Amino acid sequence: MAAAGKPSLKSLLKKGDLLVAPGVFDGISLRLAEKVGFNALYMTGFGTVGSHLGLPDAGLASYRDMVERVRTFAGLASVPIICDADTGFGGLLNVEHTVKGYEAAGAAAIQIEDQEFPKKCGHTAGRRVIPMEDMVQKVKVAVEARTSPDFLIIARTDARTNHGLDDAIRRARAYADAGADILFVESPESEAEMEQIGRALGDKPLLVNCVEGGRTPLLSKQRYAEMGYQLAIYPASAFLAMGKVLEEVYGSLKKDGSTVACRDSMADFKGFCVTMGFKQVWAFDKRHAPPPAAADEPPEKKRRA
């Protein structure tokens, strides 16, 4: 069942509508996405590995690295969070352990892909897939390992780029038959391909991965829904925006020795404190901590009083 106080992801997926989940990769990005009011979030592997470890999304993060991020993000989020689990971090026993760990950590859904280990980001070169039968077994183990049917299994195939769309659709159908709740055909390269995916697999919820600068066309919410997609993730939008602004601000600071010229690129500090939860800190201090003036008075002044 859904975590206390949160709707289930399953209840938010509706035929003919598109649920949009932005990528979050650290506590700040999550709090900002929550402030805007999204109904679901996506823990991006690329962004989380980059933010947490400073490494590329190339199979270098361990299960332990990622499940601790899941626990932190799910604890902060008031809405369902979909979490990237790469290949399941190994063989079938690893997949079982990963599914149990992600569910216990508070994820609403787990994404597992059919790449060889070490995996690579789905919109980069050099991806290879395992035999379809091996991924079918992974999906079956994942379904068996979960404790609640509200914890959803997302099966991703990366076969399109090197094996063609027909093979990718064949694989996705096999993963659906094995029990996957949501199908994720990675990197279709045209609207026509996306329409073909919708016709072939539209009896199951479909996920589209919207990466600015990636292989898949960026289209309107309505257009994705028309083609049969029910879930859109935008994993890179936030960290790409952040990267551009940070380069500008750091560059200005290095050049001028000051941030005066780039102040308009920054959020308001007081407002950001509120976003990060300082109102609760201030309220706590008001209830429990002595006023700063009294606490800072010298001992002799307190004695005279």
pLDDT at 7 over 60: yes
* Spatial distance between the Cα atoms of 103 and 83, rounded to a whole number of angstroms: 10
* Spatial distance between the Cα atoms of 150 and 171, rounded to a whole number of angstroms: 24
Q: What is the pLDDT of residue 5?
A: 73
Half-sphere exposure of 122 (CA within 13 A, CB side): 30
Domain-located, residue 295: yes
Q: Are residues 289 and 182 in the same domain?
A: no
pLDDT at 289 over 90: no
The residue whose two tokens read 């626990």 is 71
* Spatial distance between the Cα atoms of 115 and 135, rounded to a whole number of angstroms: 9
Q: What is the pLDDT of residue 117?
A: 77
Q: Are residues 133 and 192 in the same domain?
A: yes
* Spatial distance between the Cα atoms of 93 and 129, rounded to a whole number of angstroms: 19
Residues of 144-164 as b/e, b for ≥16 C-beta within 10 angstroms?
Answer: ebbeeebbbbbbbbbbbbebe
Q: 118: cis peptide before it, omega within 30°?
A: yes
Q: What is the pLDDT of residue 185?
A: 97
Residues of 4-15 as b/e, b for ≥16 C-beta within 10 angstroms?
Answer: eebbbbbebbee
Highest mean pLDDT among 133-137, 211-215, 276-280: 133-137
Q: What are 8-33's pLDDT values in tens digits?
A: 999 999 999 999 999 999 999 999 99
Q: What are 105-159's pLDDT values in tens digits?
A: 999 999 999 998 767 665 666 678 999 999 999 999 999 999 999 999 999 999 9
CATH number of the domain where residue 189 is located: 3.20.20.60
Domain-located, residue 259: no
Q: Are residues 229 and 274 in the same domain?
A: no
Q: What is the pLDDT of residue 116?
A: 84
